[in-house]
A and B are shown apart, each in its own frame.
Chain A
Amino acid sequence: MVALVNYIIVSAALLGIGVYGLTVKRNAIRILFAIEIIVNAANLNFAAFTRYMNPAQVTGQVIVFYSIAAAAMEAAVGLALILVAFRLNSTIDVRKLDKLKG
């Protein structure tokens, strides 16, 4: 029997992995991976909570629907930004993209 707790634990593990990637990785595309993993953790939580707390409604699924669409456009814009940054600086190492520091 799978309980809500199990989903929360899996989601927390995914969130932890994503935060690790966000803080440690230097390649901008890896950071995009980490963001997608965190969004997936959130989606999993929404779906699990709506299934266990309020199974007669689909509100949580609607939220996940919007979230997936938002993640899709975020990936498109993020990759375009990474491409532009690569073209301008010939690197996507986020530690070296510090021109705005002045």
Chain B
Amino acid sequence: MSLVPPDLIFVILAAVTIIGSILALQAKELIYGAVALAISFIGVAGFFVFLDAPYLAMLQIAIYVGAIVVLILFTVMLVRRGSLDEMTDRAEGGEGTVGLWLAGLLAIGIAGVAALAGPNLPTDTQPASLPVSSLGPVLVTQYPVPLIILALLLSSALLGALILAKVDK
């Protein structure tokens, strides 16, 4: 089993992402959890830059950090303070142990299989010099139907969310 020693940047990005996501779930206050979630998303955006996908990194920051986390923050802050985040998040009884075992087995299983297959997986390829603009033609010419379905789904989801959250006077 020969794990290639990763670069320092990769290690830092991995630490930011993983610690951020742990903090997002374990932070006492929901607001701090949302901020930690944003940091974790920024770490994943860093991975996208590393993977020669700058457009995805931009999308990740604009949508995840800029829209989803801000939406969560607004929801948490608009709802009466103390009712959402003071709730105990402690697991009762054996729930925590079972969850930990399940998650640990899943993660270690996948990582173990990947590490075993490590020598057969590609370590590095020639630097992909695909420009960002190569994504657009593929999106419109090869996958036009999913794009249209996605647009319809997005508008219907937003309308549905508006109708759901509307307060009846």
List chain A positions with a Cβ less than 8 A from chain B.
1-27, 29-30, 32-34, 36-37, 40, 43-44, 47-48, 51-53, 55-59, 61-62, 64-66, 68-77, 79-84, 86-87, 90-93, 95
Contacts and interface: CB of A to CB of B under 8 A. Distances in A.
Interface in B66-123: 67-68, 71-72, 75-76, 79, 83-85, 87-92, 95-96, 98-100, 102-104, 106-108, 110-111, 114-115, 117-118, 121-123
Contact of A47 (B51, B90, B146): B51
Instruction: Provide the main secondary structure of the chain B interface.
Output: helix
Contacts of B84: 27, 29, 86, 92
B89 A27 contact: yes
Nearest to B114: A8
Interface residues of B, number: 91
Contacts of B7: 1-2
A interface majority secondary structure: helix
Contacts of A47: 47-48, 51, 53, 56
Nearest to B117: A5
A36 B68 contact: yes
A61 B138 CA distance: 10
B63 A72 contact: yes
Interface of B: 3-7, 10, 14, 17-18, 21-22, 24-25, 30, 33-34, 37, 40-41, 44, 47-48, 50-53, 55-56, 59-60, 63-64, 67-68, 71-72, 75-76, 79, 83-85, 87-92, 95-96, 98-100, 102-104, 106-108, 110-111, 114-115, 117-118, 121-126, 128, 130, 134-135, 138-139, 142-143, 146, 150, 153-154, 157-158, 160-162, 164-165, 167
B141 to A, nearest CB: 11
Given A27-B87, A79-B75, A3 B118 contact: yes
Which residue among B21, B59, B114, B164 has the maximum number of chain A CB atoms within 10 Å of its CB?
A: B21
A60 to B, nearest CB: 8
Given A9-B114, A76-B158, A20 B103 contact: yes
Contact of B52 (A22, A51, A59): A51
Given A5-B115, A92-B87, A51 B99 contact: no
